[in-house]
A = this chain, B = another copy of it.
Amino acid sequence: MANIKDIAKSAGVSVTTVSRVLNDHPYVRKEKREAVLRAIEEFNYQRNINAVHLSKGETFLVGVAIPYTDVPYFGLMLEGIANEAVKNNYKLVLFQTNYEETRELEALKMLQHKQIDALIICSRSCEWEVIDEYVQYGPIVLCEDARGKNVSSTFIDHYKCFFNALEYLHNKGHQKIGYCVGRKSGANSKQREKAYKDFLKKENLSFDPHYIFYDCNKFEDGVKVIEQLTRLQDPPTVLLVTSDIVAAGIITCCKEKDIAIPGDLSIMGFDNQPIAQMMHITTLEIPLVEIGRKLFRQSIGSRNPSHEEIMVKLIERQTI
């Protein structure tokens, strides 16, 4: 493969000049620029990316730490990230964490060692203290409310969302409201729990820990929810399900067991994924692809942390 020297020689200029046209610097006379361009064309020349990286100390690689690749929620976010990455000529390095802290740490370590320029964490597993140690090494961006922290974030105010949703359901006449989330320990789950408890207190409703269902990530997790729910003496009349996929699983399972929706049980989903439309699920629309795009932009944007709140929208359909 031809290198910059070959091009320089062929175009009758110095390597610097070639480098200048390669990098769109000004101060290159038109004729020379054209000569260089011609030589590049002729040799089908392509920069050696590794040399560029070494020289610049940048990798044009952005890490993406994602819990699962086979969960559409993250898949959609990844799509947004990937879209924006190609647009900006960056490559993505994928870390599937399975919510294991050590896997996230690997990604953080790569940031430390300059093997990636920035890191996007789609759903954090590490403690904040751990993240804090690594912010000095490069931009870290999260998909959760990180205002006040030293990292960027694109986030949804899950407290507010949840509280509003709860009020909506309450106004519809529901007194016994349950909900399903992914990890119990996730930051979002904690915000939701707080909203839930605050809401209960405000409305003078009593708290029943059995009304909360954990580890709901995939379609098939709906089965467990219904199994647990049917075992309850006094089950909730509505479920706030933080993923349409899981909501769909729940609904499917209910049909099997002749539990009428919304007759016996109402369901409110999250995300407004295509499946929600198909199954007529009332849901909170979250623009996941757009969130992915924003996350990426923050990762390569200014060094100063920025924060952007994403608004959600209620889509009323037929499960409530």
**Interface on A for B, CB 8 Å cutoff?**
1, 46-51, 53-54, 57, 59, 61, 68-72, 75-76, 78-79, 82-83, 86, 91-96, 103, 106, 112-115, 218-220, 222-223, 248-249, 252-253, 255, 274-275, 277-279
Name the one of B54, B92, B113 contacting A94, with C-beta atoms under 8 angstroms: B92
Residue from A1, A69, A106, A277 with most neighbouring chain B CB atoms (10 Å): A69
Q: What residues of B have a CB within 8 angstroms of the CB of A61 in the complex?
A: 91, 93
* A94 to B53 alpha-carbon distance, docked (Å): 19
CB distance from A292 to the nearest CB of B (A): 10
* A48 to B51 alpha-carbon distance, docked (Å): 12
CB distance from A141 to the nearest CB of B (A): 17
Decide if B278 touches A249 in the complex (CB within 8 Å). yes
List 25 A-B residue pairs with CB atoms under 8 Å apart, sorted by A's residue number: A1-B113, A1-B114, A46-B113, A48-B113, A48-B114, A49-B59, A50-B50, A50-B59, A53-B53, A54-B54, A70-B75, A70-B76, A70-B78, A70-B79, A71-B75, A78-B96, A82-B95, A86-B103, A92-B93, A218-B275, A219-B275, A220-B277, A249-B275, A249-B278, A252-B255
For the complex of A and B, the 5 pairs showing the least CB-CB separation, nearest first, are A70-B75, A46-B113, A50-B53, A220-B278, A50-B54
Q: What residues of B have a CB within 8 angstroms of the CB of A92 in the complex?
A: 93-94
